[in-house]
Amino acid sequence: MKIIKEANYEALSKKSAEIIRAQVSENPASVLGLATGSTPTGTYEELVRMYKQGAVDFAKVSAFNLDEYFPIKKSSDQSYDYFMKQQFFRHVNVAKTFIPNGEAPDYAAECENYEKQVAESGGIDLQLLGIGNNGHIGFNEPNDYFPAATHYVMLDESTIKANARFFANESDVPRHAITMGIRTIFKAKKILLLASGAGKAEIVKQMVSGKITPQNPSSILQLHPDVTIIVDNDAGRLL
Ligand code: PGA
């Protein structure tokens, strides 16, 4: 694992965007894996800025998001579909965008379909990840096994609490989601994980040097051959 420490969130976001820009410059038809949450918003802002300056072109890029609540209307301002459009897609020229369909009539069929779409893309070149306070990546929650493929998941109580900040009430947070599995994520050639803030310091330490266990899904990243972790000083203070 390569660990990059930046002074603060702004520097972390710039570094992360630069790595994505370099990937797209090297391979203009890159397949990117993208993430939602508070952490990557600075990266998207920076990429939009670069795009407007002509420093990056997404015209041949495909993008696959990690996860989506289920069920949820795409038009809901809490959906990850909506988040991605607002934060990134409506500002840039990404050719093809994929997000698990929170409106699908049958979640099992949608999981299978999404897994197939990722495979048919030729595989993800660079997967962007955040990390939950509980060690989740995507919505792969602490568990007694590592779910391999894209799957339907019941959200952990800790995730519901953490995500309640985006909703009017905790009871409004969807209880289920569709997420890429650990194998789906692991097939990415490169992984770029971002963590910011003191609240992530302990889980970041566990991810990097703790026991590899499905109770901390991020710990499996110790086994991936090409992982870059960018932390700010607060998230990296125990490393
Ligand atoms: P956050 O979420 O970026 O909002 O902290 C990270 C995650 O849950 O993966």
CA angle (195, 200, 202) in 5-degree steps:
125
Residues forming a β-bridge with 195: 231
Q: Which protein residue has the closest C-alpha to ligand 1 atom 2?
A: 37
Residue 102: predicted pLDDT: 98
Q: Which one of the listed residues 6, 46, 65, 67 is annotated catalytic? A: 67
- 196 Cα: distance to centroid of ligand 1 (angstroms): 9
Helical residues (DSSP H) of 88-215, grouped into ranges? 107-120, 157-163, 182-186, 201-209
Per-residue pLDDT of the chain (239 residues; tens, 9 = 90+): 999 999 999 999 999 999 999 999 999 999 999 999 999 999 999 999 999 999 999 999 999 999 999 999 999 999 999 999 999 999 999 999 999 999 999 999 999 999 999 999 999 999 999 999 999 999 999 999 999 999 999 999 999 999 999 999 999 999 999 999 999 999 999 999 999 999 999 999 999 999 999 999 999 999 999 999 999 999 999 99
Return the closest-CA partner of residue 119 out of 95, 147, 150, 141: 150
Q: Which one of the listed residues 81, 110, 125, 141 is annotated catalytic? A: 141
CA angle (58, 98, 48) in 5-degree steps:
35
Q: What is the pTM of this model?
A: 0.98
